[in-house]
Chains A and B, each alone.
Chain A
Amino acid sequence: MRRLAAVWLPFWPVERQRRRDPARFPAGRPAALVAAMTGGFRLTAVDALAAAEGLAPGQLATDARALVPALVMQPGDPAADARALDDLLHWASRWSPMVARDGTDGFVLDVGGASHLFGGEKALLADIGRRLGGLGLTSRQALAGSAAAAAALARCAADHCIVAGGSAAHAAALAPLPLAALRLEPAIAAALIRLGITTIGQLAGLPRPSLDRRFGGGPTQCLDRALLRAAEAMSWVEPMPRFRTFLPFAEPLAGRAGIEAAAARLGEALSRLLGEAGQGVLKLVLQLHRVDGARPCVALSLIRPSRDPVHLQRLICPRLDGLDIGFGLDAMALVAETVAPLGAEALALGAADGASSREALAELVDRLSNRLGREALACLEPVASHRPERAERLVSLNREDRADREDRSGARAEMLCLADRGPERPLRLLGRAQPIEVVAEIPEGPPRLFRWQGASHQVVRAEGPERLAPEWWRADATMRARDYYRVETASGGRFWLYRDGLYQRRGDGEGEAPPAWYLHGFFA
């Protein structure tokens, strides 16, 4: 049976801004947020004191001021509220990894199988309330078998309401609640209230066919979901990780050695989990729950699936440098985000030498890319272009999709075949061709002498030209036709030079810059 805890933050926008900037909200004075709407400025959110004075969102700001002269009014920021709620959801994953946003001012946790970790459902709700209170947030919680029921109870029933049992128990618990708790479409809710239906119990008592005929399927669906008669779909903030280990601490942990030891324990536990399922991890996330509510993460990626705790530990430890852990951590979690099958034989001791050296190579690549950055490791990949600087590119080694890697080795083989037939290419290509001064016997001919980096080189022999035309099918075709020459100087140095642009007959291509010479690469 599912158990869902709903948490409602009735004064979230005001309390969020107060937490961020206490100076703007003097203590002891009721506060509200306002925004320009039809008819002037209206309240969008109030705090506990203002609510006690009878103010509510939607009221005109001038009316509110008249009613409560001490009211503090500040501009609201719904976008920032939503962003902050997302952060809060991540923080709430300390109770359960399955967290879903619930409206703009609450969230739902799937705590089935998790509540015993916190001393039972009652203690769990109390813990949620206490910790949110510690952040300066007023909250109301409820726990039920469906998210809709829990959310309705959190908003409209007594605090810390817990409903156990099946559909009948839920129907009994929800019956006295006002219709608004179901959060129907406003038009339908207004119509129902006009008909005198004000509580959920009254709605449940109506005959279903006539309800469906009059209002469409909406109200009955809402009711079915709340009363466990229909399944409800949840969109969790993070997909439920299959492999996750979590370690809460009794005291905040701040020392580097302690964090490393905790990471090692998490790694061992995760490795056991993965071993039972015959899986290895490709993407790993270490989540650090800070005492102040922030949750920095360390994401690691592996080139081959692994579940070796020693290897995982060696990857994690260097990444802990320079991580801001604030005033300490009160929990850590290690999540295997992407996994791939990894048989037991791959880990067996005394495996064939080839297998173990492949393993060693994969571990080396992981270590290098995690310290130097993913972009630092690359291999060369051919590109279908005859423009030399574009004909191949560096691709990162760490691609998750393995099928793509297979394709690439095929593409490489193709490149080998091409190069066997094609003209010679230099060993080293300059990232940007360097301009040189050239003396040639005839303008269209190969160079006799060129100056590069202050030294002049006499050309002994030259091969060419190899003419490369611009790729007209590209929108950014700024390239002019190039004539490439391979030249050897008197000292034996071999260079790849090109003339950018062609000599035109008089009348053609007027206004074009005259051809220029460049050095583009070196041969061995």
Chain B
Amino acid sequence: MAGGSYAERQTVLADLRDRLARIEAGPARKGSTLSLGPGLDGWLPKGGLVCGAVHEVMPQERTLPAAAMGFSILALARLDAAAGPILWLARAGRGRLYARGLVGLGFNPGRLILVTPSSAQDLLWAAEEALRCRGIGAVVMEVASLGLTPARRLALAAEAGGTLGLLLRETAGASSCCSRWCIGTAPGDKAGDWAPRLVVALDRCAGGPPKAPAEMQWQGPAEGFVALPRPVESLDRLARVI
């Protein structure tokens, strides 16, 4: 082995990397990654959101959770329908998803199963059960805050079931998630259409560097997120506009 040529060593290394990745990812049943579109796939080491892991999505502004929710819905609109329905674990008394609005974003509301547990404890139990289930495509959890132990349990459950988990949380905290996204809203063109336009930041990502906020335009479920040419230097500038 030591005397092998450069090309041979590269083959062996590639093979080892592949095997390690398979061990880490566990059995990939539902497709191993979820592509988000050309604008965001380059940010992620695997070229998409890793299935079989939990990802956090946080709103930039606490009072405007719709952007983070919209980002999750748009990402899930790109999930293959054959993977199974999407379980949405909602917190009670916080408004509800509106099917006609979902259709407008290119998401089929028929794929959603809405679950409203009465307590945070029940929500975590249901999330763990659902993440372990092979018949579920993705699980979205709305939580106010989450300790490290529950987060770790959810991650293990997602790994066991090969299910994509999205954690919608209001505030940052201890986390053992695969990636954490911070989503804000961006003003659209005055004359332009109303297609969703988001400021997306990747705060942390396992196996890759974090990314600064950038404006992303949604181009429909087929294409996904496309980066806008105008980069955002800082969110402070936006804050001054307000």
Contacts and interface: CB of A to CB of B under 8 A. Distances in A.
A455 B125 CA distance: 36
A432 to B, nearest CB: 9
B241 A490 contact: yes
Nearest to B111: A379
Contact of B98 (A360, A426, A486, A489): A426
Nearest to A463: B194
A143 to B, nearest CB: 51
Interface string A215-232: 000000000000000000
Nearest to A382: B99
B135 A358 contact: yes
Contacts, number: 184
Contacts of B239: 491
Contacts of A491: 61, 184-185, 187, 238-239, 241-242
Interface string A451-475: 0010100101101000000000000
Given A361-B84, A492-B197, A425 B104 contact: yes
A58 interface: no
Contacts of B230: none
Interface stretch (B9-17, B35-43, B45-53, B115-123): B115-123
Contacts of A490: 187, 241-242
A106 to B, nearest CB: 45
Contacts of A205: none
A462 B202 CA distance: 31
A371 B96 contact: no
Contact of A428 (B98, B126, B136): B98
A374 to B, nearest CB: 12
B97 interface: yes
B105 interface: yes
The B interface is mostly helix, strand or loop, or mixed, namely mixed
Interface string A366-391: 01100111001111101000001001
B63 A427 contact: no
Nearest to A381: B99
Contacts of B25: none
Nearest to B187: A492
- Chain B interface size, as a band, is 35 or more
B28 interface: no
A427 B102 contact: yes
B99 A409 contact: no
Interface string B116-150: 11100010011001100111100000000000000
A122 B118 CA distance: 54
A367 B136 CA distance: 14
B171 interface: no
Given A377-B113, A419-B104, A463-B194, A392 B135 contact: no
B196 interface: yes
B98 A453 contact: no
B187 A460 contact: yes
A431 B242 contact: no
A489 B67 CA distance: 13
A371 B64 CA distance: 32
Given A427-B70, A460-B187, A365 B93 contact: no
Contacts of B114: 377-380, 394
A521 B97 CA distance: 10
A240 B226 CA distance: 63
A353 B82 CA distance: 11
A143 B136 CA distance: 57
Given A431-B96, A492-B197, A379 B110 contact: yes
Contacts of B238: 491-492
Interface in A471-501: 486, 488-494
Contacts of B222: none
A416 to B, nearest CB: 6
A461 B70 CA distance: 20
B74 interface: yes
Contact of B101 (A373, A416, A426, A488): A426
Given A364-B130, A380-B99, A419-B100, A372 B115 contact: yes
Contacts of A461: 188, 190
Nearest to A364: B133
Contacts of A492: 184-188, 197, 199, 238
A167 interface: no
Contacts of B103: 415-416, 419-420, 425
Q: Which of A357, A361, A491 has the most CB of B within 10 A?
A: A491
Contacts of A364: 129-130, 133, 135-136
B96 A458 contact: no
A524 interface: yes
Among A380, A409, A422, residue most surrounded by chain B Cβ atoms (within 10 Å): A380
Interface string A389-427: 001101001000000000001001001101110101111
A164 interface: no
A372 B126 contact: yes
Given A372-B117, A453-B63, A460-B190, A524 B105 contact: yes
A521 B187 contact: no
Contacts of A424: 101, 104, 194
Given A379-B112, A427-B69, A490-B241, A521 B101 contact: yes
Nearest to A495: B66
Contacts of B199: 492
Contact of B187 (A409, A428, A430, A488): A488
B95 interface: yes
Interface string A429-441: 1110000000000
Contacts of B133: 360-361, 363-364
A364 B122 CA distance: 14
Contacts of A524: 66-67, 69-71, 73-74, 105, 196, 198, 218
20 contacts: A361-B84, A368-B130, A372-B122, A377-B115, A378-B113, A379-B113, A380-B109, A392-B98, A394-B96, A425-B101, A425-B103, A427-B98, A428-B66, A428-B101, A431-B96, A491-B239, A492-B184, A492-B185, A524-B67, A524-B198
Given A372-B115, A425-B103, 17 more contacts: A356-B134, A357-B135, A373-B118, A376-B116, A379-B113, A392-B98, A392-B99, A412-B110, A426-B98, A426-B101, A427-B69, A427-B105, A431-B95, A493-B61, A494-B185, A522-B95, A524-B218
The 10 lowest CB-CB distance pairs between A and B, nearest first, are: A524-B70, A361-B135, A492-B185, A522-B66, A425-B100, A419-B103, A360-B135, A380-B99, A357-B135, A429-B98
Interface of B: 29, 61, 63-67, 69-71, 73-74, 82, 84-85, 93, 95-105, 108-110, 112-118, 122, 125-126, 129-130, 133-136, 184-188, 190, 194, 196-199, 218, 238-239, 241-242
